[in-house]
Each structure stands twice: as structure tokens, then as C-alpha cells.
Chain A
């Protein structure tokens, strides 16, 4: 193969700045330059864009058009690779001095010396070539492959690559040393000498086969070829990953020569990432099941945590098609997964869970057992419906912890979370913890929350909130209460301590002192008193209600009249109201 001189001055000494090379002037050269420019753009596009981007599409369209046109006209595009240039028929068709950007230098450095695209090149082949270029431009460095082996592997029938092992020794010293034979390999160092000199006694004794078989040429059947080809197809890789995991687990249990968890962990993580990236979540879950079924203790825990990390769990749980799949996933989780599940649950934003509610509930109940403290700790930052799901799970696992947690949510959570907390408290068996939590809810900034709490407190006749209720109704802020809340406060007061309530209502509606009478109580307080009186039995309460129906502020008066009438109807009197 002769070397064709380029149409520009030869390269100077290393490090010397070279002038810009003249680009091709012939029609073929110009066309070749356009193809190369399009190839470079397409290959480099993955640095800037996601492959699905419209810009990448445009680059690919352009490179296809240009390559097709070139090969249709000129039959062959042969590019000679120089450190900074690509030449076609002796003309420079590409020059890039920036080492980081230069296609020529990258090819050159990996040993590519000539690239030839020949007529018959399919788009499928060209796109495979561009994929290899993309990997190269992305600067990904493999331990397993280089550019030449990647191109070689791509097996492009219409792209010919001539390559050399990158460097050439420029040796002008040939020295024969005494005692050193001219041929044969010698160890280069002491470590190699150990390998060279070691007696290679492996694989002995040889297999002891006595029987002899027939040695005849027989073609492999198409079916056999197909079966073998299927085993090496990419589709088989997930299944092979599972086989490998089973093998590794067996090796971990071999007491003679055991593999440690640390030996296996990185590979489990790599397989996990591969399965997630290829959307083989079913196989990922199978891997979890294998680990769960075949390992115990810390090894099981560590490998399951590696197998189902937060990202994998997110994929698995958000795409789980039914509760059965979620339950299968839940069975592969270990208590240490709880934090991940909770973080994932919170990742939905604005209090919404990133996981379906039912899936989350299943997982929390499965993982939360014995970890109520962790669940409770998580609630401090939980918002909205998520808080409700977590609290509900906690309520099923430990009512006491749930009550305490609800109290914490009521102290600092969002309005929606507080509502969820009250809802959960309503469902818990009533006790001092629940009572305390509900009492705390009375300080909530949300009227809805306060009303919800009052309803439960009233129902359970919680005496410990008496002072709180009185204080709320007697403070100057009482004037700001809505009619709904004032009414609820009055009713609760009546339910909690009828005696004290009657005294208070009397004092608020019919103050004893002149001054008190002149400065009548604010309307909400009167409404509270009237509403409370409606729940109090006895003549005294009825008498006061009747008085209020006559003398209270108009809105309170109307309520009193209505209550009085209902009361009398209930008593069977049905007598006149006023």
C-alpha cells in the first residue's frame, strides 16, 4: 500500500504550530469533506443532546443523505487518518487541531490508519458506526474495549478499518547480550518470572474416558445452530445474570472456600443497574427472590439492599401492575429499606406520594413492624396525604406510637397533614395519648383541624381539655371565632363537664354584675353557650336557653329558639316557641 502525499505541506516537528491546511478543492474532495463534517456532527451530538433529541435526528438525516449521495456518485469513501487530519485521495477533507475535539486524533491514537466506506453500505451499518463514534466522542473509556475492538465488534461489512497497535518503537539499539537466547519469551520482571517458572499442572489428572466414540463429520443441524445462537443472544443476558447470582450464592455458602459478601456486592449492583436500564424489572424482582430465598442474616440483608436500592425500588414500585407484584416486592425488602421507601414516598412532592397509595400502605405495614420509631421520626417532615398513609400504617402497627406521632404532626405539620392526623386519631382506641394529641390539635391554625379534634373530644368527654375550652371562649380572641367553631366549642364544653358548662353558659348569657350585663359577651361566645345548652339536660339548662331565646344577640337568639323548639319536640311537648 503506497502512501499518497497530502496536498498540503508535511507536518512540522512535534509541538510546532501548523498553518491551517487547505481543504479539498476537487468535487469528490468537497463531497467527502461534507460527509465527514456530517459524521462528526452526528457523532459529537451525544455530548450535547440526549439521543432522542430533534437535533440528533437532524444530524442523522444529514449524514445519511450525504453518505448515500457520496457513495452513489463515487462508490467509495476512503479516509486516510493522520494525527490531525483526514485525507481523501490525497486531499485534506477534515482538519481539527483541538485535541479534545479532533476525530482524526482520536482515531489515530487508537491505531486507526484508514477508514473506507464502500458502496452497499446500509443505513443500519452506518448508524452502528455512528454509535461507536458517539461512545468515542463521549470520552467513555472501557476496560474491556477500545475504539478498534468496538468497530471490529460492530462487524460492518461495508466499512473497512485498517488499524495498528497504536505506537511504533523507533528502536535503533539492537543489543545481543551474552546468555540471552535470540528467540522465545522471557519474563520481564520478577513477578512475571514467578508465572513463567511455575509448573503448570492444572487440570490434572486428565479425564479418564475409556469408551471410544465414532469420529465422523456431521453438519450441525439448523435447529442446533439456532439453539446455540439463542444462548448467546442479548435476550438471554438477564437469565444468565440470574444463573450467575445463583452460582455466586452457592460459592458464598461453600465453607471450604467462601466468597464474601464484599466480593459479590459490586456485581449485584451492576446487574441491578443493567436490569433497570433494560426495563427487566421482572428479572430484578426474581434476583431479589433468589437472594431472599437462598441467603440469611447479614449477607441477605446487604445483598437485598444492593439489589433493590432506592432507584430500583422506584422503578419497581411505580410500575408494579397489581398488589400481588407489590407484595412480591415487599417480601424482598428488609427493614433497612424502610428509609428508602419513605423517601420515595415523599418524592412525589407537595405531600403526594410518588408511590401508589395502596402499594405504599402494603410496604409500610410490611416494613414498619418493629420500626415504629423510624416511621414516627419520618412523620416530622411528612406532608399531606403521605402523612395520612404513614400514620395509618403506624396506627395499624402501634396505636400508641401513632397517637404520639399524630401529636407531633399536629404540632408542626401542614394543615392537610394535621387533618390526616386527626382522622387517624379518630380511628384509634381512645386513651390519654389520643386525648393529649387532640388537645394539641385545638391550637392548630386550621379551623377544620380544630373542629375535627373537638368532635372526637366531645364524643369521648375528655375532661382534660376543659380549661383549654374555657380559655378559648373567655379570651379576647373569642370574638374572632366563627359560628361553627364557637358552636363546637360550646357543645364540647357541655359534653366534657356539664356542671361547669352550665355555670359558664349562665355567666356568659346572664352575667350577674351590672357592668357585666352592660358589656354583653361577644356573639361567638353567646353562640357557644346556646349550642352547649342544647346538649345539656335539665330544667336549668332549658330555662337559660329560653332566656337566651328572648334576650341574646339576634343570631344567638335564633339558634336558641331553634334548639328550644327541637328540645321541646323531643320531649313530646311540642309547645310554642317564641
Chain B
């Protein structure tokens, strides 16, 4: 008798493989492997030669040239090139390089770098032949006794090679020694995702391929964190540590995720939504005649960049649509925008309304933004999604400054915790009733005590 459950599993296995194959950009991986192997072999050869030959020797000409050309090709393909040695494995931008059985190539490079306590190099820019010689000279020199990696980095900077970054020695993490890592503070995750975003945006700004995997890793961490923490206020609190471009992008991402979760989207779909939100303004990093593309053309610019990603992904299709449509109203004559676009539209507008920009205060206080947006159901916004956002933010979204009836001044630090506590967020005390600042961090739970007298707008924002 045919076991239907097994047959279904066979089908699922087959379609998973077929789909994954359709999503793979095999050409890119192959090219990275080829060029990466070439780059490592060039570096090894140069370091070895430097022990026996003066760098002015013409014997260096060809290998220096080869290394420069290979690096240039990788930079064109990937943006910053990260060559990481992890034990005896070499990774170039996360692609493990195989040396056709010559494992020694990997080991040799790792050993050469380890002398300086270096585990990896990032090449952020192309190098001239002379730059390559200088870099090899510095690596071939005896390692400094103290802080060898920083000494080498200083040496590189001194000869104008700031674009060559050095990383500490890397190891595969051992099981059991990384508990703290798995429950890393959300703030740390949030700030480090801004770093990835900066790298992705900068890379795209130079016309290179986008790397959604970096965004996806960050988004999955946000979603996991959101299961146990109120991540929106945490995100807003972490903004002092991240640059302006990332503040907006990440805040839109977090709010989109919260709206998506409120509407009942599954984890996988939330992750796709988050990646779309993360890249919704990627066109910002494109330039036209030396200047950032104007607002009117940023969606098109984003689209052009993201169209360069190869492989069919359902997530990609939805992302592209979200980017194209996220400024369109729900009642657009061209048709109702897609789900992700409608969610990102809400999050994007809310953040735009409430965010202070350079020399410009926010257009609205958070409660006013919510109230004004609340009137736009069936017009600018999808009424159900709008309600989902209201259910998340409440009348006093994080960042709202309020005067309580007893004279205290507080700022909201929570999203809606439950339907019953919709109008009573958790707050941080800003001023006591007598106007004095609290000595320590003091939390006021409006569900337990305190009544809102007024919202404080303007300077206090």
C-alpha cells in the first residue's frame, strides 16, 4: 500500500530542491570561488616571495599584477571583499573557497596572517601595483611584539592603505561557549544590523549586487527578539548609536514587523516583509550626477538595484513590488498595492511624520501621527492594516511625552501591551511633580498609577 505521508514528503523534498536550485545564482558563487581561490593563491605566493626577494625585484611584477586584477574583479562583483581565515578554511564573502585538494593554500595564508594576530582582511577598494607591494612588505615584516594587528593596521594607514581592514583571528564558535551570543542584547543586534546595512547600502551605491542575506539575518533576529521583548522602544532607544540613514530604515523595519505580526503573518512571511522594509529605500544610496537621487526617483533607483539580484524568490517578487508601491495610497487608481507595500507604507509614513531630521523638528508628535493616520483608512491606507498599527502603537506610542495629572512628566516606552492596557503604556519618568529630574531610571506603569493630563509637543520631543 502506498504511504501517502511518505509520498507527500518525497514531493516536498523534490520541490524544495527544485525551488532552491531556481533560487541559486550558481554563476555568482562559481565566479566568487574561482576569483577567491586566485586571490588567495596570489597572496600566498607574494608573501612567500617576499621572504627571499626584494620587493623591487621584477619577479614580483606578474604576481602583483595578478593579485590586483583578481581583487578588482571581486570588488566589481561583490563590493568590499572579505577574506576570512577560520581555522583551515578560507571564506570570501561567506563563500567557502575550495582549493581543489590543496588545503595548504588555506593553511598557509592563515599562518601568514596569524603572525600579526590577523584572521581576515577586508579590501574596500582597488589597489594599485605599488599598493600591493607596500601591503606585502608590511605583512612580510616581523610582527610587532605588542598589539601586532593594530600596529600592522597603523602601518597600512601610514602608506595610504586605509581601505585595507584587518580583522582579529576567527574561530568557529564552540558549542556551549556562546550562550550569551544567542541571547545577545537586542540593542547590540540592532546596532550591528546598522553596520550590515551601511555595508549593503555602500556596496549598492557603487553599483554592486545587493546582498539580502545580511538583511535577512538581522530581520530574523528582530523577529525572535520580538517574541520576548518590546523591540520598538528598544530600537528607538538605540538610535543614538546609529547613523541617520539607518535610523529611519531600521525603525520602518521594526514597525513593519510589528504590524505584520499583529495581522497574523507567519514567521517566514514576516522575514520576507522585514527584508523588503530593510531595503525599501536602498535607492537612497544611488547617485545622479554626483548627488543623491531625488525623492521622486528613489523607488525607481531602488528597483534598478534590486533587479540585479539573480534567482527566483517569492520574497524577491514581493520585495520589488513593495519598493515600487510603498508610497501609493490604498485607493490608488492603478490598483491596490500589495500587502507588504501597504504595511511598509504605514510604517514609513509614521516614521516620517515623527522623525526629527537635520535642522527640522518632527512634523508630528507620535500620538498626533497615529491620530492623523487613523483618519486615512480606505484612503491612504488599508483600513485593517491601519487598525493593526493602531493596536500596536496605541494612542501614546513610544516616545510620546506626557504630563500626568499629578504634574509628573513621563515619556512612553512601550507599545500596546494588551487590549486592556491600550491607553496605559509603560513610561519613563522625565520630571518629578516638582520639576526635578529623577536621580535614577524610574519607570511609571500607567496601568497601575498616573493619569495623562496632556501630551507635550514641541521642544520636549
Contacts and interface: CB of A to CB of B under 8 A. Distances in A.
B317 A241 contact: yes
Interface of A: 1-4, 14-15, 46, 50-52, 56-57, 60-61, 64, 80-83, 108-109, 111, 113-114, 123-124, 127-128, 130-132, 134-135, 138, 140-146, 148-149, 152-153, 155, 162-173, 175, 183-185, 187-192, 194-207, 209-221, 224-225, 227-229, 231-232, 234, 237, 240-241, 243-244, 247, 251, 254, 256-257, 259, 263-264, 266-267, 270-271, 273-274, 277
Given A113-B173, A198-B292, A200-B248, A143 B309 contact: yes
A143 B6 contact: no
Contact of B303 (A64, A81, A259): A259
Interface string B245-265: 111100000000000001111
B80 A189 contact: yes
Contacts of A3: 174-177
Contact of B262 (A175, A220, A221, A243): A220
Given A185-B195, A200-B284, A209-B373, 14 more contacts: A3-B174, A108-B172, A131-B12, A143-B24, A164-B182, A167-B86, A168-B171, A173-B117, A199-B244, A213-B374, A213-B376, A232-B265, A232-B266, A244-B320
Given A132-B16, A167-B86, A188-B124, A141 B372 contact: no
A259 B304 CA distance: 7
A273 B312 contact: yes
Nearest to A228: B263
19 contacts: A57-B7, A57-B10, A131-B17, A140-B20, A143-B311, A167-B84, A173-B149, A183-B241, A184-B241, A190-B162, A191-B79, A196-B198, A197-B243, A209-B376, A211-B375, A215-B371, A254-B300, A270-B311, A271-B312
The 4 closest A-B pairs by CB, nearest first: A51-B14, A213-B374, A3-B176, A213-B375
Contacts of A202: 248, 281, 284, 295, 298
B176 A191 contact: no
Contacts of B25: 143
Contacts of A237: 314, 317
Contact of A135 (B7, B17, B212, B422): B17
Interface string B21-37: 11111001100000000
Nearest to B321: A244
Given A52-B10, A145-B213, A215 B125 contact: no
Contacts of B147: 173, 175
Please classify how large the interface on chain B is, using the bins under 10, 10 to 19, 20 to 34, 35 or more: 35 or more
A126 B24 CA distance: 24
A46 B12 CA distance: 12
Given A138-B20, A169-B170, A203-B348, A188 B199 contact: yes
A218 B321 CA distance: 29
A204 B295 CA distance: 8
Given A127-B13, A173-B117, A206-B353, A15 B88 contact: yes
A249 to B, nearest CB: 12
A83 B10 contact: no
Interface string B142-172: 0000011110000000000011010111111
Contact of B163 (A173, A175, A190): A190
Contacts of B403: none
A197 B292 CA distance: 12
Contacts of B224: 152
A142 B267 contact: no
Contacts of B321: 240, 243-244, 247
A170 B171 contact: yes
B178 interface: yes
A190 B165 CA distance: 12
Nearest to B354: A206
A215 B201 contact: no
Contacts of B88: 14-15
Interface string B170-202: 111111111101100000000100110011011
A149 B217 contact: yes
B235 to A, nearest CB: 14
B365 interface: no
B125 A210 contact: no
Contacts of B203: 191
Nearest to A171: B168
A516 B114 CA distance: 109
Contact of B364 (A148, A197, A206, A270): A206
A149 B292 CA distance: 33
B208 to A, nearest CB: 10
B395 interface: yes
B176 A1 contact: yes
A109 B96 contact: yes
A149 B320 CA distance: 21
B357 A220 contact: no
Contacts of B191: 185
B384 interface: yes
Interface stretch (B46-54, B385-393, B452-460): B385-393
Contacts of A51: 10-11, 13-15, 17
B63 to A, nearest CB: 25
Given A204-B352, A209-B372, A225-B264, A149 B175 contact: no
A119 B447 CA distance: 40
Given A196-B243, A202-B284, A190 B422 contact: no
B24 A212 contact: no
A144 B272 CA distance: 10
A200 to B, nearest CB: 4
